[in-house]
Amino acid sequence: MEGALLASSLHLPLFSSMLPLRRIFTASLASRSVLPRLVSNTLVSCFPHRNPLGFRNKSLASPLMASGFSTDDSRRPPFAPLPPPDADEVELFRGLEATLGSSFSSDPLSPPPHPLVIVISGPSGVGKDAVIKKLREVREGIHFVVTATSRAKRPGEVDGKDYYFVSKEEFLSMVDKHELLEYALVYGDYKGIPKQQIRDFMAKGYDIVLRVDIQGAATLRSILGSSAVFIFLVAESEAALVKRLINRKTETSEMLLVRVATAREEVKRMKDFDYVVVNAGGQLEEAVKLVGSIIDSEKARVRQRRAVI
Ligand SMILES: Nc1ncnc2c1ncn2[C@@H]1O[C@H](COP(=O)(O)OP(=O)(O)OP(=O)(O)O)[C@@H](O)[C@H]1O
């Protein structure tokens, strides 16, 4: 009894230390003999008249024929041997086509990319306009939606390019006619996105960039869900953002206070976005490059986003 206990206590660690060896041994047995037989038997029972890869070339098919299924199929063209690998490109190409039994298509293998809707947002003064202006210079195939606004034009802004500057009455009439995808009252001024403009450019294959504040981005997320790409722009720090706003010299001190306090809250909404891009002081081009890379990656997605406006 004592001996048996001693033996089992000695054997257990020995047995467990041998487990990895046992696994390797079993795996190698399986890979050398059992698995190939299993695979070929399964294929034979599924495709008794065909070789499983559809080869018409006996030399390629023969290893798979070992377990005894035949290639005689009266519908097949006569057997043609594959040209040697040093044959010229055309001969080899044709030979491969003949062996596979169908010609190679030159159609693109990837589906045509669907126009993207890209929402760029971030706190006031972070550089949304600056990033979009630069992006406009360096990328083609994007339509930058011109927002309608009831706010007064700033020096240098052009009607129809920077914004559609409309009166409050005109803006509210657009709302009544359901012409806006989204609109909001921002710091006392209305801002809204005209739908038709987006539809027209998407129909022509353009990607769409929308520039909205955080409140607008939240509304768009509820309308578009994950069918659009949401990018959150941030400054490198809160202090940098405040200095940028001060230096823009477009706000009174009271307006600055509201924007800065709001920005603090808005940064917390970053988690509702798909991407964050830092627009650091003096590094506008890097930020724009990153936005471009995001657009490129989105275009390479296997499952494309499909926004319907
Ligand atoms: N990377 C940067 N480095 C330095 N200055 C910048 C950078 N990006 C933007 N700015 C400047 O910061 C100020 C604010 O930028 P901009 O007006 O583009 O912000 P915004 O997010 O569009 O603001 P708002 O939402 O209030 O319209 C501008 O004077 C702009 O020139």
Q: For residue 37, indicate whether it is catalytic.
A: no
CB 51 within 8 Å of CB 64: yes
Q: How is the chain split into domains, by residue range?
A: 117-299
Question: What distance in Å separates the CA atoms of residue 192 and residue 125, rounded to the nearest whole number?
Answer: 19
Note the pLDDT of residue 106: 96
244 ligand 1 Cβ < 6 A: yes
Distances (CA, A) of 102 to 44, 64, 91, 182: 23, 21, 15, 52
pLDDT in tens, 114-160: 999 999 999 999 999 999 999 999 999 999 999 999 999 989 999 99
Could you tell me the two tokens for 277?
């891009």
Percent of the chain with pLDDT over 70: 74
Could you tell me the two tokens for 233?
């722009």
Query: What spacing in Å lies between the alpha carbon of 281 and ligand 1's midpoint?
Result: 9
Could you tell me the two tokens for 116?
């993207």
Note the pLDDT of residue 79: 62
Rg (CA), the chain: 33
> Which of 149, 243, 244 gets mutated to test ligand 1 (max ligand atoms within 8 A of its CB)?
244
C-beta atoms surrounding 199 within 10 Å:
13
Note the pLDDT of residue 40: 39
Could you tell me the two tokens for 252?
């009174």
pLDDT in tens, 264-297: 999 999 999 999 999 999 999 999 999 999 999 9
* CATH entry 3.40.50.10800 includes domain 117-299: no
Q: Per-residue pLDDT for 68 more than 90?
A: no
pLDDT band at 22 (very low <50, low <70, confident <90, very high): very low
Question: What distance in Å separates the CA atoms of residue 252 and residue 271, rounded to the nearest whole number?
Answer: 31
Q: Per-residue pLDDT for 67 more than 80?
A: no
- Of 265 and 11, the structure prediction assigns the larger pLDDT to 265
Note the pLDDT of residue 16: 44
- DSSP track, 46-105: H-TTS-TT----HHHHHHHHTTS-----TTSPPP-PPPPTTS-HHHHHHHHHHHHTSPPP
Q: Per-residue pLDDT for 184 more than 80?
A: yes
Q: For residue 56, indicate whether it is catalytic.
A: no
pLDDT in tens, 199-245: 999 999 999 999 998 989 999 999 999 999 999 999 999 999 999 99
Mean pLDDT, range 105-116, rounded to an integer: 91
Quick one: DSSP state of residue 127?
A: S
Q: Whose CA is nearest to atom 10 of ligand 1?
A: 127
Q: Which residues contact 176 (CB under 8 A, 6 or more apart)?
A: none
pLDDT in tens, 28-66: 433 433 333 333 333 333 333 444 444 444 444 443 333
Q: Per-residue pLDDT for 7 more than 60?
A: no
Q: Whose CA is nearest to atom 28 of ligand 1?
A: 248
- DSSP track, 196-234: HHHHHHHHTT-EEEEE--HHHHHHHHHHHGGGSEEEEEE
Residue 43's Cβ-count burial label (10 Å; 0-12, 13-18, 19+) is: middle
Q: Whose CA is nearest to atom 2 of ligand 1?
A: 281
Note the pLDDT of residue 58: 43
Buried b or exposed e, range 63-87, using 16+ CB within 10 angstroms:
ebbeeebebeeeeeeeeeebbeeee
Note the pLDDT of residue 76: 55
Q: For residue 139, indicate whether it is catalytic.
A: no
pLDDT band at 74 (very low <50, low <70, confident <90, very high): low
Instruction: Please identify which of the residues 22, 37, 76, 154 carries the catalytic annotation.
Output: 154
